[in-house]
Structure 1
Amino acid sequence: MPTASRLSLHRLCLAAALVLSWPTHAQSPAAGAAPEMAARPAGPPQPGGRYVVDPTHTFVLYEMGHYGTSTNRGRFGTRDGQVQVDAAGQLARVDVSFDMASINTGVDLLNRHVQSSDFLNVADFPTGRYEAEDVRIEEGRVQVLRGRLTLMGQTHPVDMRAVRFNCYVSPLHGRQVCGGDFEAEILRSQWGINWGLQFGFEDRVRLLVQVETVLVPAAAR
């Protein structure tokens, strides 16, 4: 065998031996080690704190029956919003605005129809809004938001039930984040959204709101 070939083979065997003999603990993180992206619990909302909506984690979704068979679903993005906490650490005000033109049903043709004057008339009413100043809290946890929903220029009372609510310290923001999932049922005809009722589209609509808000630093309030 040529000298160069013997030298290459020797190096290959030596490299393989080093790999096989390398300690197992050097190849993987120690058991139980927390990843750098792990969130930390943060307790309840900060008394007197103001939180602003994180639009990448806040959406309004709807579900509406379709001819008594399947369910039509869509999602709206948020424009802005905030949550104000009083001195006692209770939610005092919730205010979220959402972008009606951002509707996404998964079907472009249906998106355009929902945006039209048949449904939401986005050209004249580009923004929806939910406001609540009456928050029911039991055993330190948010239970119900008693507020009002504005669509198509009309405002009516809507209570949002909390499915879950929690706070944590975000590894991305380095600040406390509070949020949860909320749900309600409405009759869309109350807001003048009547198209399709005569065809079998249901009047009753389920709303689901997922929201996360980030604590504003005291110096910026």
Structure 2
Amino acid sequence: MKMLTRIALATPLAIALAAPALAAPETYAIDGSHTFPRFSYNHLGFSKQLSRFNKTTGTVTFDKAAKTGSVDVTIDTTSVDTGFPTFDEHIQGADFLDTAQFPTATFKSTSVRFEGDKPVEVVGNLTLKGVTKPVTLTVTSFQAIPHPMLKKDALGANATAVIKRSDFGAGKYVPYVGDEVTLDIAIEAIKQ
């Protein structure tokens, strides 16, 4: 009986002592100076054009032990950068991004699939130009380590997806200018 009493008293203590060893989700703030959603498309069959957005904010939640995570990103669509200011204005117009009415785009994950310790797929909802559609991002690289310069935990990834711009009410000049747009996202985030 004394042995059962000791075990009964020791079990909650052992659980309490082990709790810090269990991982918990950690929140990382997106580093806007190293996070750039890029997009490319076929331009009249002549070339593949590549542009990016210069302002991105949001958070990534990551729990390595539980193999879970989430992503919540906001892109300032007025920060589109084609490399040519006149074309930036054109892309911001009503036929494409309509930034006067929709100055941001968002991506909110609904699930993250892991292989081993690393995420390989992020499924979520992309809202662009007021239209929300499911998008699956394929993670092509991922790293979660202490940042060598900031001396804080950090993570980084690259991910890709293909969407149709016509699905988001931005199909002007299809099929001459490609409907399929390849998203290529470089993201870095610092633990809070």
TM range (shorter): 0.7 to 0.9
> Structure 1 residue 136 and structure 2 residue 113: aligned?
yes
Report the Cα distance in structure 2 between the residues aligned to 1:171 and 1:134, rounded to whole angstroms: 30
- TM-score with structure 2 length normalisation? 0.84
Change (3 A) 1:189 1:87: same
Is this contact kept in 2: 1:78–1:96, CA < 8 A? Answer: no
> Structure 1 residue 75 and structure 2 residue 30: aligned?
no
Superposed CA deviations along residues 157-209 of structure 1, whole A, max 9, x for unmatched, are: 000001100112113321011111000000111001011115x0010000011
Report the Cα distance in structure 1 between the residues aligned to 2:81 and 2:144, rounded to whole angstroms: 28
Q: Rg larger in 1 or in 2?
A: 1
Residue 87 of structure 1 and its aligned partner are, at CA, apart by 8.1
Report what 1:206 is aligned to.
182
Report the Cα distance in structure 1 between the residues aligned to 2:40 and 2:84, rounded to whole angstroms: 15
Report the Cα distance in structure 2 between the residues aligned to 1:79 and 1:201, rounded to whole angstroms: 26
Structure 2 gaps, min length 5: 1-22
Report what 1:176 is aligned to.
153
- TM-score with structure 1 length normalisation? 0.73
Report the Cα distance in structure 2 between the residues aligned to 1:168 and 1:87, rounded to whole angstroms: 11
Report the Cα distance in structure 2 between the residues aligned to 1:184 and 1:78, rounded to whole angstroms: 20
1:51-200 paired onto structure 2 within 5 Å: 51-86=28-63, 88-198=65-175, 200=176
Residue 131 of structure 1 and its aligned partner are, at CA, apart by 1.1
User: Partner amino acid for 2:169?
Assistant: G
Off by >4 Å, runs of 4+ in structure 1: none
Residue 47 of structure 1 and its aligned partner are, at CA, apart by 3.2
User: Partner amino acid for 2:153?
Assistant: Q
Superposed CA deviations along residues 28-47 of structure 1, whole A, max 9, x for unmatched, are: xxxxxxxxxxxxxxxxxx63
User: Partner amino acid for 2:184?
Assistant: L
Residue 48 of structure 1 and its aligned partner are, at CA, apart by 2.0
- Stretch deviating more after TM superposition (78-87 or 183-192): 78-87
SS at match of 1:201: coil
Report the Cα distance in structure 2 between the residues aligned to 1:48 and 1:139, rounded to whole angstroms: 17
Percent identity over paired residues:
31
- Stretch deviating more after TM superposition (182-191 or 91-100): 91-100
Structure 1 gaps, min length 5: 1-45, 217-221
